[in-house]
Amino acid sequence: MELEVSAEAKDKRLNRQIAITVVALSVFVGLCHIKDENTVQGMERNEAHAIDTWNEYQASRTKLHVAEGTRTQLSLLGQPGKVDAALAGLNGDIARYKAEAPVLTAKAREHEAEYDRLRFRHDQFNAADAAIGTAISLAAVAALMETVLLLWTAWVFGAFGLIMGLAGFLGWSIRAGLLTSFLG
């Protein structure tokens, strides 16, 4: 099967619509890409902060256990008059470590929640990118084949991509559930 492409298009109006479609979708997907890169950087930052905070939590819990063990040993083995100052210091450390734990837990969970929020946006931008890429490809084939039906199909994919991209920009809670679960 041979495909013959003439130098002169039969329908200039179709070619203009295709050109406008490709330019508009290309500009929009470029903007989405910039925003998505910023979103990914935010995800990485929040993931690093969450990991650091959980590490700080673990260190605090370890210091708590060491201080409690030391306090027990001093109270069992030490001479009452000589270990009172050390016990008071350990009791203060233990109280501080116990107070730190819920604060660190809350802080780490905040970072994780922000990561999840940004991941949702990232998925929206990915869906927009895939749909708009498909739309641009269909528009190119519509130009070669001079077929309006392919251009309409490109517009459907482009509209979905625009909606998903706008959802990412504007914080809408639109999910591309089937697409995300299939590709994710």
Return the pLDDT at 150. Answer: 96
Which residue blocks in the chain are alpha helix, DSSP H? 12-77, 80-145, 148-170, 177-183
| Cβ–Cβ < 8 Å for 71, 94 | yes
CA distance 70 to 77: 10
CA distance 95 to 92: 5
Q: Which residues of 114-138 are buried (b: 16+ CB within 10 A; e: fewer)?
A: bbeebbbbbbbbbbbbbbbebbbeb
> pLDDT above 90 covers what percent of the chain?
80
Q: Which residues contact 74 (CB under 8 A, 6 or more apart)?
A: 83, 86, 87, 90
| Cβ–Cβ < 8 Å for 157, 135 | yes
The tokens 């890169």 sit on which residue? 37
Distance of CA 180 to the CA centre of its chain: 13
Q: What value does the mean pLDDT of the chain take? A: 91
> pLDDT above 70 covers what percent of the chain?
90
Return the pLDDT at 82. Answer: 80
CA distance 105 to 49: 12
pLDDT (tens digit per residue) in 68-106: 999 999 888 877 778 888 899 999 999 999 999 999 999
CA dihedral 65, 67, 69, 70 (to 10 degrees): 160
**Among the listed residues 143, 140, 145, the one whose alpha carbon sits nearest the alpha carbon of residue 1:** 145
CA distances from residue 65 to 55, 73, 74 in whole angstroms, order as listed: 15, 12, 14
- What is the pLDDT confidence band of residue 144, given thresholds at 50, 70 and 90? very high
CA distance 100 to 21: 56
CA distance 121 to 40: 9
pLDDT (tens digit per residue) in 3-47: 555 545 566 899 999 999 999 999 999 999 999 999 999 999 999
Return the pLDDT at 10. Answer: 65
The tokens 């009172």 sit on which residue? 84
Return the pLDDT at 183. Answer: 60
Q: Is the pLDDT of residue 181 over 70?
A: no
